[in-house]
């Protein structure tokens, strides 16, 4: 890789093979499932975990959506909530792939965390994932009392493609007058389908997510109608970002998505939205998953956990 790589990540990068990351989707999905199966089960007495199903609001389209609910044990009263959308380029991932992130988020923030198992492309192209995300949000808000959730303190968080869903959902909630979103957390976000040079061209290492892979993933998600993609699907296409809730945007120096994350944060600022932009030098895409034991990964997770906790606590 021609760009700077953090010393913590150099050994990890050196051990990664060159590959076409998304050329064989069934194989990629099976590889992810095998990797998840090798992880020790998350067993922490500080939280409880249960699977549930989010049902569409009466009169709306879309299927039921599987969710997983992480709850702090012993907490009383109405708690803040975080809807979490896993990454995976719109084509990979499930509830298990985001399990560790969600458990850590629950323990670190004291919030009820609800992971959303949205449908994946290319079998289910846009707007399927957005429809599922919207169903989960409305279900959470409508059942806040049953879930022990404060409807005024619901945040959206996502990694990569999941951050795209979180940003799009925030735009739709603003436009439709709710449900209310207190905070949006966009971690290494994919926000713009339009090729633009910059970090997309700069990051070309075949061992990690690169610009060519990003273009391929957007095509699988949006299909042939990408030129007319709505802003909810591609948040960078939104012309008006005013009236949105405060945001935390994390970008990484060796990530092809770096520039679009920075650009979106700047545009939020231009529209008078409070933003915290966190830049991680020398990190490639989803480095926290590739190298979770490194000090860089641990400090990064601690940083966005603090930001989310402070936002939900009203600090």
CATH code, domain carrying 77: 3.40.50.1820
Cβ–Cβ < 8 Å for 148, 97: no
Cite the DSSP H helix spans in 143-257.
144-147, 161-175, 199-202, 211-222
In this predicted structure, what is the pLDDT of residue 212? 92
Q: Is residue 1 situated within a structural domain?
A: no
What is the per-residue pLDDT across 192-219, written as a single tens digit (0 to 9) for each? 998 778 999 999 999 999 999 999 999 9
In this predicted structure, what is the pLDDT of residue 37? 62
Dist. CA 280–CA 262, nearest whole Å: 12
Q: Is residue 2 situated within a structural domain?
A: no
Q: Is the pLDDT of residue 90 over 70?
A: yes
Q: Is the pLDDT of residue 271 over 60?
A: yes
Number of domains in the chain: 1
Q: Is residue 238 situated within a structural domain?
A: yes
| Structure-token match 């699907």, residue found | 233
Q: Is residue 46 situated within a structural domain?
A: yes
Q: Is residue 86 situated within a structural domain?
A: yes
What is the per-residue pLDDT across 127-176, written as a single tens digit (0 to 9) for each? 999 999 999 999 999 999 999 999 999 999 999 999 999 999 999 999 99
Dist. CA 91–CA 68, nearest whole Å: 19
Q: Is residue 25 situated within a structural domain?
A: yes
Torsion of CA 183, 137, 82, 181, to 10 degrees: 20
Q: Which active-site residues does the annotation give?
A: 160, 255, 285
Number of Cβ within a 10 Å radius of residue 125: 19
Of 22-26, 34-38, 252-256, 279-283, the one with minimum mean pLDDT is: 34-38
Q: Is residue 166 situated within a structural domain?
A: yes
In this predicted structure, what is the pLDDT of residue 305? 97
Q: Is residue 38 situated within a structural domain?
A: yes
Dist. CA 178–CA 73, nearest whole Å: 29
Q: Is the pLDDT of residue 21 over 90?
A: no
Number of Cβ within a 10 Å radius of residue 147: 20
Number of Cβ within a 10 Å radius of residue 290: 17
In this predicted structure, what is the pLDDT of residue 290? 86
Mean pLDDT of the region 32-52: 79
DSSP state letter for 226: G
Note down the domain range covering 307.
Answer: 7-313
Strands (E), the chain: 47-54, 65-72, 79-85, 112-116, 149-159, 183-187, 247-254, 275-284
């Amino acid at each position: 890789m021609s760009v700077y790589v953090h010393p913590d990540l150099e050994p990890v990068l050196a051990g990664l093979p060159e590959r076409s990351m998304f050329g064989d989707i069934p194989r990629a999905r099976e590889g992810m499932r095998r990797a998840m199966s090798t992880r020790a089960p998350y067993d922490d007495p500080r939280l409880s975990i249960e699977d549930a199903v989010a049902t569409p609001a009466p009169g709306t389209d879309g299927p039921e959506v599987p969710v997983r609910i992480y709850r702090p044990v012993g907490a009383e009263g109405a708690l803040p909530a975080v809807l979490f959308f896993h990454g995976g380029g719109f084509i990979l991932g499930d509830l298990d792939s985001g399990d560790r992130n969600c458990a850590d988020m629950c323990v670190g923030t004291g919030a009820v965390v609800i992971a959303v198992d949205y449908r994946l492309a290319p079998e289910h192209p846009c707007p399927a994932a957005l429809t599922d995300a919207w169903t989960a949000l409305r279900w959470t808000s409508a059942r806040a009392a049953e879930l022990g959730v404060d409807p005024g303190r619901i945040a959206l968080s996502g990694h990569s493609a999941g951050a795209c869903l979180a940003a799009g959902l925030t735009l739709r909630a603003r436009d439709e007058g709710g449900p209310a979103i207190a905070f949006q957390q966009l971690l290494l976000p994919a926000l713009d389908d339009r090729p633009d040079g910059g970090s997309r061209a700069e990051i070309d290492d075949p061992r990690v997510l690169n610009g060519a892979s990003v273009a391929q993933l957007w095509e699988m998600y949006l299909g042939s109608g990408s030129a007319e993609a709505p802003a909810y699907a591609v948040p960078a296409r939104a012309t008006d970002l005013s009236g949105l809730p405060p945001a935390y945007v994390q970008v990484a120096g060796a990530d092809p998505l770096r520039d679009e994350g920075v650009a979106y944060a700047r545009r939020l600022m231009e529209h008078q939205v409070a933003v915290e932009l966190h830049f991680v030098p020398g990190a490639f895409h989803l480095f926290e998953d590739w190298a979770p034991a490194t000090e860089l990964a641990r400090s990064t997770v601690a940083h966005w956990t603090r930001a989310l906790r402070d936002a939900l606590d009203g600090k």
